[in-house]
Amino acid sequence: MRPDTPAAHITEAERLLRTAAQYPGDREPLYLQAAAHLELADDRPGATALYDALLTGEPANPHLIRALKAANLWEYGHEAEARAIIEGVRRAKPSDAAAWETTAETLEAHDELEAAESTLTEAATLLVTSPEDLPHATRSLLTTRHRIRRMLALPHDTWDDLADRLHTAAVPLDELHDPKRLWSLGSSDPAELQAEITRLRSELGTYRTALSRPFPVAVLHWPERELDELLAAYPELEAEYPTYRAHLTDIEASLRELAQAGTPNLGIVRATLPSYEAFAASESTHPSNPDLLPQYATTLAARGRATGWPPARSSSCWCGSGRTYGECHATQ
């Protein structure tokens, strides 16, 4: 069965819902993934039902869920309700960039570019407090804002300049977001066509990177007590974790190495011994097998358990020391 058929998406949504029943603590990210598959299968009422089910509880990110629900509702004829939700999200001024970006992209999809641009400008005003220390989601928001402003033929402002500086692909954002690019596809000039092929390849590479990593590339963090229990139960893993201090140093070093290699969307997942043992059992592998550790980290990230790295320098350090990141592991 092809993975992009409606039937395949329905099957995947059902699998995710079964997993959510097994892991109620991970219900929210699993329901969101299932809703996305239902949308791709054109079961938009089914997706709305999942969004509503999450909103009846106490979700971790209600604004994003509402933004996704609005986008879905608008696609099958519930424009008035979608608009009301969008206005509610904007009034709430969420601290999550993804909620703002989803809202703006919904407006853009329905040719309301001015409203999309004002939404993203409002978000940037609220979220961009330290231009050199922006999380992945906020950088994405600035890139989307840059693209929409180019379509509106607006001049560059400070945030557009910042988006340009943060962009790392070979083709500059101004070229990628040039509204005149479509014209070049009808050109008979080989040089123009080759330039457009280069731009499209660069853009495709960016999209592939994002799609291939729907959740962070995550590194395991064992809190000190959990690490002591792990090594007491499975001393074979002492070679992986000689000391707790070395463990913390290795986490920061590994993430910096990944970042320097250009890996986006990095994170840290908190490990616990009961969870790790349950995962080993599900994989029919003994917990003393060190090859299981990265698989465990990936599984936790896929279940929405990752915390983005690096944190802002003024935020609490990921290690739990109680100090800010700037005072703690950012200096190492």
What's the pTM? 0.66
- Cα 157 to the chain's mean position, in Å? 26
pLDDT, tens digit (0-9, with 9 covering 90-100), for 157-194: 999 999 999 887 777 888 878 877 655 556 667 776 67
Instruction: Check pLDDT > 50 for residue 289.
Output: yes
Instruction: Check pLDDT > 60 for residue 2.
Output: no
If one compares 226 and 265, the residue with the highest pLDDT of the two is 226
- Report H helices in the chain: 6-22, 27-40, 44-55, 62-75, 79-92, 97-109, 113-127, 136-151, 158-166, 173-176, 181-184, 190-212, 224-233, 244-260, 273-282, 292-302
Mean pLDDT score across all residues of the chain: 86
Say if residues 199 and 191 touch (Cβ distance below 8 Å).
no
The pLDDT-based confidence of 210 (bands split at 50, 70, 90) is: very low
Instruction: Check pLDDT > 70 for residue 314.
Output: yes
Q: What's the angle, vertex CA 287, arms to CA 286 and CA 288, rounded to 5?
A: 90
What residue ranges do the domains of the chain occupy? 217-331
The Cα-based distances of 260 to 14, 168, 253, 266 in angstroms read 38, 12, 11, 12
The pLDDT-based confidence of 73 (bands split at 50, 70, 90) is: very high
